[in-house]
Amino acid sequence: MYVDNEDGKSLTGIDASTLDVARTYPLGFITNQTAGTLSIVDEASHTVRKPPVR
């Protein structure tokens, strides 16, 4: 798993909520599509899943 933004550069500021989502979705990667919005891209099916709202 890796955390990415739209321009493909790695993000260094990983907060607890991001890590929580990462644990929830061990397969795939987290993409920051808009400010404050995380989406999960499933590498197997190439579909986007929104994380659960907390």
Residue by residue, pLDDT tens for the chain (54 residues) are 455 555 555 454 555 455 555 555 454 555 555 445 555 555 555 555 666 666
* Confidence (pLDDT) at 1: 44
d(CA 45, CA 13): 28
Tally of CA atoms within 13 A in the half-sphere of 17 that contains its CB: 9
pTM of the model: 0.17
* Confidence (pLDDT) at 18: 54
Q: What is the DSSP letter of 8?
A: S
* Confidence (pLDDT) at 46: 54
